[in-house]
Amino acid sequence: MSAPLYNAEILRLAASIPHHERLPEPMATAERRSPICGSRVTIDVSVDDAGRVSEVGLLVRACALGQASSSLLAANILGRTPAELAVARDAVTAWLAREGDAPEWPGMDIFTPALDYTARHPSIRLAFEAATEAAETAAKAKV
């Protein structure tokens, strides 16, 4: 028997997104939207002199899976470089496509039941895609 797609942990994460308010003056902002379900994630970031994410703010209008993924991203993004975020984004994408191992990002194994639901993959990727773009843009602006 497989685990349910929407379980108590997914719903807990969806209801407790850290940094769930937009930044008043971000260095960069990126938004991603899933054309399949309409889920949308907007991420504001600022980076420090070393190019690491120092502040983050999110606006999440997504399904429970998109919210839960955003929650895991937000809980672990501070101090990360754009390169580290790109590695995480690519690992999440490959894993969901069954082309790689589970990503090393904390908590992502909660999405194992979603592997068979390809229509749900875009919403799980949204936060990682937006965060990577915003961090890369902010780091370039810092140079």
How large is the average pLDDT for residues 109-122? 94
> What integer pLDDT is reported at residue 124 of this predicted model?
97
pLDDT in tens, 90-104: 999 999 999 999 999
Is 3's pLDDT higher than 70?
Answer: no
Q: Is the pTM of the predicted complex or chain greater than 0.85?
A: yes
For 9-52, give the DSSP string: HHHHHHT--TT-S--SS-SEEEEEE-TTT--EEEEEEEE-TTS-
pLDDT at 1: 36
For residue 20, pLDDT over 90 is answered with: yes
Distances (CA, A) of 72 to 15, 25, 46, 139: 12, 23, 18, 22
Q: Give CA separation, 97 vs 2, 23, 87, in Å.
A: 18, 33, 15
> What are 33-90's pLDDT values in tens digits?
998 889 999 999 999 999 999 999 999 999 999 999 999 999 999 999 999 999 999 9
**Is residue 138's pLDDT more than 60?**
yes
